[in-house]
Amino acid sequence: MTVPHHAHLTYPRIAASGDRAIVIELSDRISEETNMRVVALADDLESNPIAGIVETVPTYRSLLVSYDPLVVRGRDLSALLLERLSGIAIDGRRGRRLVVPVIYGGDVGLDLTEMAEMKEMSVAELIAAHGSADYRVYMIGFAPGFAYLGGLPEKLHTPRLAVPRQRIEASAIGIGGKQASINSVPGPSGWRFIGRTPIKVFDPARSDAFLLKAGDHVRFRAIEKDEAAALDAAVASGAPHIEWEDA
């Protein structure tokens, strides 16, 4: 995936975003390496803060940095960010991986059978392909806790629906273009949905409402109705099953 290319631009580059935020762009291309640098810079700024920074928001290829102009000037902060970036090293660590149990099909997996037919695969083959990948959380956006997942096997790349559905429930497992997703809140969507998970990636009742963050990884694990019912009951009782492993 690429963004419009401008031959005269060099990276990294700084762009203003209003009078209280700047964007540091690392590339005009989307790649895992670029996103790793974005996340590494965000993590470094969290552990070694620069005075005046209010918040950082990682994206595919850039980092939005909001700041207090009464504490630091944008020009000065831009120089500090470029200096900080120059010292960032990607050490190869891949962070955390969330194992997401999925019950495929059913009322939420509206597109499972049709997608299998489109791909000339059996439903079992589609489920196996979906569960074979290691997905990277490139960014959180669109809705609270919504993770854009890269790494979808090419044979499952599927255009979004021409007409979005008006409501898809939270925890639905989706495919949109080259990306995968886990719905974080109910709402309209043009993605295609193949199942659901009992876990919640966004839950304001938790101390940390957002389960995933940029740089995390996800693996999907197929489950049957009995396990899904047990996990649904655990989530309803306030004791959700959340399984992390080293990525």
For 183-211, the pLDDT digits (tens) are: 999 999 999 999 999 999 999 988 889 99
For 41-85, the pLDDT digits (tens) are: 999 999 999 999 999 999 999 999 999 999 999 999 999 999 999
CATH number attached to the domain at 96-246: 2.40.100.10
Residue ranges matching CATH 2.40.100.10 in the chain? 96-246
Q: What integer pLDDT is reported at residue 67 of this predicted model?
A: 98
**Structure pTM?**
0.90
Residue 86 token pair: 């120059």
CB within 8 A of 8, min separation 6: which ones? Answer: none
Residue ranges matching CATH 3.30.1360.40 in the chain? 13-86
Domain spanning 13-86: CATH 3.40.1190.20: no
For 212-225, the pLDDT digits (tens) are: 999 999 999 999 99
Residue 197 token pair: 């998970």
Q: 63, 69 in Cβ contact below 8 A?
A: no
- Cα gap 231→99, rounded to integer Å: 13
